Amino acid sequence: MTTRRELANAVRALAMDAVEAARSGHPGMPMGMADLAEVLWNDFLKFNPANPKWSNRDRFVLSNGHGSMLQYALLHLTGFDLPMDQLKRFRQLHSKTAGHPEASETPGVETTTGPLGQGLANAVGFALAEKVLAAHFNRPGHDVVDHHTWVFLGDGCLMEGISHEVASLAGTWGLGKLVAIYDDNGISIDGEVHGWFTDDTPARFEAYGWNVIRGVDGHDAAAIAKALSAATGQHDKPTLICAKTIIGFGAPHKQGKEESHGAPLGKDEIAAAREQLGWKYAPFEIPADIYAGWDHRKAGIEAEQAWNDAFAKYAAAHPELAAEFSRRMSGELPADWAAKSQAFIDKLQADGPEVASRKASQMSIEAFAPLLPELIGGSADLAGSNLTKWKGSLDAATGDSAGGKGNYVYYGVREFGMAAIANGLALHGGFIPYDATFLVFSDYARNAVRMSALIPAHAIHVYTHDSIGLGEDGPTHQPVEHLASLRYIPNNQLWRPCDAVESAASWKAAIERKGHPACLVFSRQNLKHQQRSAQQVADIMRGGYVLSDPLDTKFRAILIATGSEVEMAMEAARALAQQGVAVRVVSMPCTEVFDAQPLEYREGVLPSWCRARVAVEAATADFWCKYVGLDGEVVGMTTFGASAPAPQLFEHFGFTVGHVVDAVKRTLR
């Protein structure tokens, strides 16, 4: 009969062989956590290899993602669509076995982990999603949402600051179905961690409000099973299992040392490890009895079928809830969404409110949230400034999730953790999350925003106080380079609307961008309403459009602007018209969407024959050079801001109608 250790050794062998073949990778963690993984995946984890997206599966997150061969070995052995050929091509171009797990590439991978600590944060988002979704849909006798989130993590994850942010929240929220398994091996790249990591980790997590299981032998299957069983019996607190392991377990000369952490073991050490482990098989060879011991396909199908049967009974008892659950988990928007959202935008155009775009954002949330029960918001202790709450907002994270109606998360001052948790909420399914802070604090969250785009995850990141218009708080709080920084993230869309209509359109675009993120950037100060035709309103969704053209003559120059500077561009165009200079004004709320339009459309908005162009934005100037060319100018920022009332700052830094007029004239010489 195949033993547990033999099953775990299959993981160790695959990790050694794949890293050796790639001449790159991290064999130590997979070898050290193989026993933990074997017990979890064979005895506790609920999943179906034939349907990696089954909604009630347990979520498994490898936060210490450098040990990716652990997860790839587990996916292959248990029956996911990850053939041995992919393991042999570990870390190679176009393989499904990247250096760190990627959700978009590998079936069975729940989230893209890489930067340490973010996997733990995503896992907190998964567990929060499970809790809130259960409150929304479960009914007595019908627990259609009932699964755990399991996360493997290491010393590096716990050293990263984000782990403090999200572990604190998980304890506060009482996420009883979150179980973190800490690979306490005492080794990182630089060697033994006691020289730079002496935290009392168990006490730290107990202080957060976690259930902590200390001193588990990570190589004793019985002790592991006991700890996992105790964790699943804890319903009111998340659990941290502190498992003592030996990194590189089985490699006689390198186990327990940093040499096994992030480099191939080498052929001699692998041969010695095979002998010590009693693994008699060739590289990438797995015997039939080992495969049989791991195969989860039949059990997975049976588990999902049991849930399908339970869901059928739920649907019979609660047909409307069942239909709504299915819609939300599929990611489809309500049937009336398109018409009602557009009707709101058209009404704003007719009414013409002159408000700060952050207020227009709140108006949009008020209009859209009742249409979208999946919309779940939150702010990093700035709800009153970001204006992210609406009249139907109810605390989603505490108690019983507001009796099943919870839809708002209080994150406290934790921007990085907030954005990464939002990624987990989005990836779980059933929710479209939005989070919020000041634009300048996107620096704190930026790596999680980058991961939103890379995973990708349908998270909406809301930023207010978008320029030197912030005023008296001064340069520390005035974003200058942040718009460009966020625009440069591939697959991200940044919207900076100029009035209430564009603000609502940006929300609509972000909500409809299924499976991908967006950043919505709003002003503190009031913005003037712009007149538009029905076609111009429609063209907002194309990212850039002609807002104003001369009536009776051909334009000679083009002004391009975003946000609060569009009004300035319009005033400059009128002033130039009085001087006999005809100017087109282009509003470009989202450069990424505009750049993706057909060439014919882009040429129609920014015709190549017109080289007299001026871009106006109260942010880093250099970004706009690609739109104005060598003959154009940019009215933008080249320094940090200053502390003064906003009107004085705009004048001081050259954001005046006169300055824009002069810039246009210079391009015409």
- Please check whether residue 624 lies inside any domain of the structure: yes
* 260 and 345 within one domain: no
* Residue 168, annotated as binding a ligand: no
Joined tokens for residue 128: 């929060």
CB of 425 closer than 8 Å to CB of 459:
yes
Average of pLDDT values for 553-558? 96
Q: Can you give the residue range of the structural domain that contains 622?
A: 541-668
- 27-54, pLDDT tens digit by residue? 999 999 999 999 999 999 999 999 999 9
Q: Choosing from 130, 415, 565, 633, which is the catalytic residue?
A: 415
Give me the sign of the Cα torsion angle 298, 300, 301, 306. positive
- 382-396, pLDDT tens digit by residue? 999 999 999 999 999
Average of pLDDT values for 134-142? 96
Q: Cα(123)–Cα(426) distance, rounded to whole angstroms? A: 11
Length of the chain: 669
Q: What local confidence, expressed as pLDDT, does residue 143 receive?
A: 97
Q: What percent of the chain has pLDDT over 90?
A: 98
Question: Would you say residue 401 has pLDDT above 70?
Answer: no
* 423 and 380 within one domain: yes
* Residue 155, annotated as binding a ligand: yes
In CATH, what number is assigned to the domain containing residue 638?
3.40.50.920
CB of 130 closer than 8 Å to CB of 431:
no
* Residue 115, annotated as binding a ligand: yes
Whether residue 192 lies in the annotated active site:
no
Question: Would you say residue 455 has pLDDT above 70?
Answer: yes
Joined tokens for residue 167: 């572990």
CB of 453 closer than 8 Å to CB of 480:
no
* 499 and 546 within one domain: no
Average of pLDDT values for 394-407? 79
- 478-487, pLDDT tens digit by residue? 999 999 999 9
Kindly indicate the confidence band of residue 400, based on its pLDDT and cuts at 50, 70 and 90. low
Q: How far is CA 418 from CA 105, 122, 293, 439, 447, in A?
A: 25, 10, 40, 14, 12
* 587 and 513 within one domain: no
- Give the domain-ending residue among 301, 322, 353: 301
* 129 and 250 within one domain: yes
Q: Cα(177)–Cα(199) distance, rounded to whole angstroms? A: 25
* 217 and 104 within one domain: yes
In CATH, what number is assigned to the domain containing residue 341?
3.40.50.970
* 120 and 39 within one domain: yes
Question: Would you say residue 402 has pLDDT above 80?
Answer: no
Average of pLDDT values for 52-77? 98
* 190 and 93 within one domain: yes
* Residue 261, annotated as binding a ligand: yes
- Please check whether residue 596 lies inside any domain of the structure: yes
CB of 462 closer than 8 Å to CB of 433:
no
* Residue 358, annotated as binding a ligand: yes
- Please check whether residue 86 lies inside any domain of the structure: yes
Strands 149-154 and 178-184: parallel
- 643-663, pLDDT tens digit by residue? 999 999 999 999 999 999 999
Q: What local confidence, expressed as pLDDT, does residue 669 receive?
A: 83
- Please check whether residue 329 lies inside any domain of the structure: no
Q: Cα(641)–Cα(526) distance, rounded to whole angstroms? A: 20
* 282 and 161 within one domain: yes
Average of pLDDT values for 101-129? 97
Q: Cα(95)–Cα(74) distance, rounded to whole angstroms? A: 17
- Please check whether residue 534 lies inside any domain of the structure: no
- Please check whether residue 317 lies inside any domain of the structure: no
Average of pLDDT values for 235-264? 97
- 303-328, pLDDT tens digit by residue? 999 999 999 999 999 999 999 999 99
* 370 and 286 within one domain: no
* Residue 477, annotated as binding a ligand: yes
Q: What local confidence, expressed as pLDDT, does residue 404 receive?
A: 75
- Please check whether residue 533 lies inside any domain of the structure: no
Instruction: Using the structure block, give the residue that is written with the tokens 């033999």.
Output: 6
How many helices (H) and strands (E) would you count in the chain? Answer: 28, 18
Kindly indicate the confidence band of residue 451, based on its pLDDT and cuts at 50, 70 and 90. very high
* Residue 346, annotated as binding a ligand: no
Give me the sign of the Cα torsion angle 349, 352, 354, 355. negative
Q: What local confidence, expressed as pLDDT, does residue 610 receive?
A: 97
- 522-531, pLDDT tens digit by residue? 999 999 999 9
Number of domains the chain contains = 3
* 549 and 513 within one domain: no
Question: Would you say residue 398 has pLDDT above 80?
Answer: no
* Residue 289, annotated as binding a ligand: no
- Please check whether residue 111 lies inside any domain of the structure: yes
* 118 and 62 within one domain: yes
Question: Would you say residue 399 has pLDDT above 80?
Answer: no
